[in-house]
Amino acid sequence: MRAWQECQGSTANKAKAVAGHSLGEYTSLVAADVIEFSHAVRLVRKRGELMQQASVDRPGAMAAILGLNELAFSQICAETGVELANVNAENQIVISGDKIAVARAADLALARGARKVVPLPVSGAFHSSLMVEAQKGLTEAMEALQFKDPKMPIVANCDSRPLTTGGEIRQELVNGLCQCVQWKNSVHYMVDSGVSQFVEFGAGGVLAGLIKRINRDVEVATVSDSASVRKMATETA
């Protein structure tokens, strides 16, 4: 990301908004000059430690459900007690919760028409109420850090609205431990706000693929190494 910003110069600061998926929100904070890179690294490490301890104290599981939309899954959540962890695209949802509840929800999803269920290899029920114990520790960890107002809006995971102050961002990070990542709605918000080109930073291009599934009319690029940085710099020169 820093290499891309150096190549782009002032153009990098003309982004209409930034957004990150789950842990990626911390990258967006650095991109928007909310916190220093070194502070973000320490905060991410602390977040991981807190979530791991919460997973030990209250074990859980997660699973990706393909082929059922959010509305169809609301009844399954009500019946089993699982929670929506990620709404990634129209028919790609991740659930989170107690291990037995997640297994039951997966069976119900298949019985009601889901195309596929993929158990996720994670250590806990992230983005669910089972992470509530981690919220206090994360709040305390952030107290020692200065959160500046972002240079461009950060589109929140929790409710897909723009965050424009350091205080709002602090609360978003705490809420994000237990609330759903509304990625589909975040992309819709950005498109509706006039965003027509997205740049994903990171290997794999997972978010780029999701964005194209959500809206096929937008342009999407992935920056993951020095070659892609140079290519992007050339195309936008």
pLDDT digits 0-9 by tens, 114-136: 999 999 999 999 999 999 999 99
What pLDDT, on the 0 to 100 scale, is given for residue 161?
A: 96
Distance CA 53, CA 5 (A): 36
Q: Would you tell me which CATH number, out of the four given (3.90.400.10, 3.30.70.250, 3.50.50.60, 3.30.565.10), belongs to the domain 60-119?
A: 3.30.70.250
Evaluate if residue 181 carries a pLDDT over 70: yes
What pLDDT, on the 0 to 100 scale, is given for residue 69?
A: 85
pTM score over 0.85? yes
Q: Which residues are catalytic?
A: 22, 127
Tell me the range of 5-19, 172-186, 223-237 where mean pLDDT is highest: 172-186
Q: What's the whole-number average pLDDT of the chain?
A: 91
What pLDDT, on the 0 to 100 scale, is given for residue 226?
A: 67
Which residues have a Cβ under 8 Å from the Cβ of 8 and sit 6 or more positions away?
A: 232, 233, 236
User: Domain coordinates of the chain in residue numbers?
Assistant: 1-16+195-237, 60-119
- The average pLDDT across 185-209 equals 93
Rounded percentage of the chain residues whose pLDDT exceeds 70? 89
Distance CA 93, CA 85 (A): 8
Evaluate if residue 1 carries a pLDDT over 90: no
What pLDDT, on the 0 to 100 scale, is given for residue 224?
A: 77
What pLDDT, on the 0 to 100 scale, is given for residue 234?
A: 59
pLDDT digits 0-9 by tens, 31-79: 999 999 999 999 999 999 999 999 999 999 999 999 998 888 889 999 9
Distance CA 91, CA 184 (A): 10
Phi, psi of 114 (to 5 degrees): -60, 140
pLDDT digits 0-9 by tens, 131-180: 999 999 999 999 989 999 999 999 999 999 999 999 999 999 999 999 99
Distance CA 85, CA 193 (A): 25
- The average pLDDT across 189-218 equals 93
Distance CA 179, CA 20 (A): 15
